[in-house]
Structure 1
Amino acid sequence: MTPIFRAMKAHDIESCYAMTQQLNWPHRREDWQQALALGEGVVIEEQGKLLGSAVLWRWGERAATIGLVIVNNQQQGRGLGKQLMLTLLEKVPDYNVRLHATEMGKGLYEKLGFVTTGKILQHQTRALAAVPPVVMPAGVTLRRAQAQDVATLTALDQQAHGMLRSPLIAHIVSEHQTVLLEDTRGTVHGFASLRRFGHGWAIGPVIAQDFPAAQALVASLMQGLRGEFVRIDTDAALPLAGWLATLGLAQVDNPTTMVRGTPWTVPAGGMQAFGLMTQAMA
């Protein structure tokens, strides 16, 4: 029987959730719903059974991410993962496409034109024991982000990694606890968001001008999370990981950042992405 590749629909979420459960991935049904609401997915179906999935997110007219690439363990070796990727890549032929690869997936992605640009360190704790004090950088104050901040935060987010994620930023401001650092002139020095994800709480994205600003943002969102599951995915090239380890957030994974196209270069003095939204959406 020839497998069918088709667009992912809302009714596929239950099957996709079941596949991630089999892989011991932490995604809840709600996480899948959010992923599909912001992106576009493709699934493989054979005789009415879902065999695999992948999701593409377009961030503006030149950048995209791909994630949640899954093939049922019993269907490995049929080239289905490659077909999933090709189906999505055909939609964005001129885009710079980013993904985060497992060791198992790196070989496939390299054959599809992706190159390694870095590492992501996944840090988490089952029960946050050390809630850090909020040490504010000089000259800035912390406040909750509002709807009128979305355009500014979107521009800062794009500065950090080249992706224009307006729908995502609007979502985290309206639906989740999102805070920002602002000076007396109204200039924003960074922002970060806290939301339910997987086994508990995830902090990200964390977009900041420098490490002290990122620390202040993360610490502010950790207040009240003592004893809770907390996860942050951070760039290995930035210094946040070492500090997270001192708080008891152990490193549990280190996927490879890969890009097909032109890797993004942060402008001198520009914002940096200290924390991801998710490994899939970046």
Structure 2
Amino acid sequence: MYWLTVTTDPTPRALTHGHLADCLSLARDRGWSPEERKWSFLLDNGTGYGLFDSGELVGTTVVTRYAGQHAVLSMVLVASSHAGQGLGRRLVEHALAEADCPVVSLHATAMGRPLYEKLGFRLVGRAVTHFGVFRDAELSGSTRSALHADLPAVVERDAEAFGADRGVLWKDYFRFTDQVRLGPSGGFAAAWRTVDNLSVGPVVAESVEEAKVLVGDLAAGAEGALRVDAYHPELADWLVERGLERRGGVDLMVLGDLAGDRARLHVPMMQALG
């Protein structure tokens, strides 16, 4: 008879940039793209927690807090060698205890959703991922590139749609993005460069039509593939018409009550940031 000895430290510890290479290795282990820029940005603007087994990183999560109003959980990963030991639940419970916000949200995969439901999260929406080369992209002439002077207005409109002030994050995100565009009716959209695509988000607009214009103008002149996580079916169908393929999706889940005018939030900033 053989006995399995679990040596994992039961208490999650704070992650630093010194753990970045281990986070990327863990992402590869679970089939995630090793997005160094993204991980670095999240650790700069949120708090990462890790579980360790004999010094080896075997589990992660990140909590990003917005002005004490709303926290987003992300990057919940457990090494394949340690699956089935309850480490995911341990990480999420620790993150919830540390979140210290009345509202906590996350984007859940099908694999993760049962755990979050057990912890009291409820389903409130779905973001469908679209990926591919945007067809026939041309500037509409009705949007413009945002300037740094536009940042206060972008932060205000973002808060109205998202339901929490993300101004502190936006100061870094504005620099992190390749481009932010302002729409004709007060909406805006941003895009940032990943390892293999240009990822769009957020898109805040008064209507789906304005959202389409903003996404199309971000796509104009972009090299390579575009990624868009669309909340609204009409926008999702339009993206398919423009040449992007559906690549699955994630469920938006929440503890507490979401605020804001969510009908205006057509695409999240990124799944990890809400």
- The verdict on a shared fold, with TM-score over 0.5 as the criterion, is yes
Q: Which residue of 1 aligns with 2:25?
A: 18
SS in 2 for 1:117: strand
Q: State the one-letter code of the partner of 2:180.
A: T
2:240 is aligned to: 245
Report the Cα offset of residue 211 of structure 1. 1.4
**Matches of 1:279 and 1:234, distance apart in 2:** 11
Q: Is the 8 A contact 2:24 2:34 kept in 1?
A: yes
Are the aligned partners of 2:131 and 2:227 in contact in 1 as well (CA < 8 Å)? yes
Residue type matched to 2:79 in 1?
N
**Structure 1 residues 71-95: Cα deviation after superposition (integer angstroms, max 9, x where no partner):** 0111112111111011111123442
Deviation (angstroms), 1:175: 3.8
Q: CA deviation at 1:223?
A: 1.0
Summarize deviations over 1:215-248 as a string: whole Å, max 9, x none: 111111111125x02101110x352111100111
Instruction: Decide whether aligned partners of structure 1 residues 221 and 20 sit closer, same or farther in structure 2, where only a CA change above 3 A counts.
Output: same
Deviations 1:108-137, CA, capped at 9 Å, x for gaps: 101111001111100001xx151333446x
TM-score when normalising by structure 1: 0.88
Distance 1:166 1:238, change over 3 A: farther
5+ residue gaps, structure 2 = 1-6
TM-score normalised by length of structure 2: 0.91
The aligned counterpart of 1:185 is none
Cα RMSD for the two superposed structures: 1.8
Structure 2 equivalent of residue 122 of structure 1? 129
Separation of aligned partners in 2, 1:195 and 1:55:
20
Tell me, yes or no, if the aligned pair for 1:147 and 1:170 is still in contact at 8 Å.
Answer: no
**Paired residue for 1:132, among 123, 137, 151?**
137
Gaps of 5+ in 1: 183-187
> Equivalent of 2:183, from 181, 184, 189?
181
Helix, strand or coil at the partner of 2:240: helix
Q: Which residue of 2 aligns with 1:77?
A: 84
Pick from 253, 256, 259 the counterpart of residue 261 of structure 1: 256
Distance apart, 1:21 and its partner CA: 1.4
Distance 1:27 1:189, change over 3 A: farther
Number of equivalences: 266
8 Å CA contact retained: 1:67, 1:100: yes
Q: Deviations over 1:146-171 (max 9, x none)?
A: 22221211111111121321133222
| Deviation at residue 104 of structure 1 after TM alignment | 1.2
Matching residue within 188, 191, 216 for 1:194: 191
Residue from 213, 220, 225 that aligns with 1:216: 213
Give, in whole Å, the separation in 2 of the partners of 1:193 and 1:31: 15
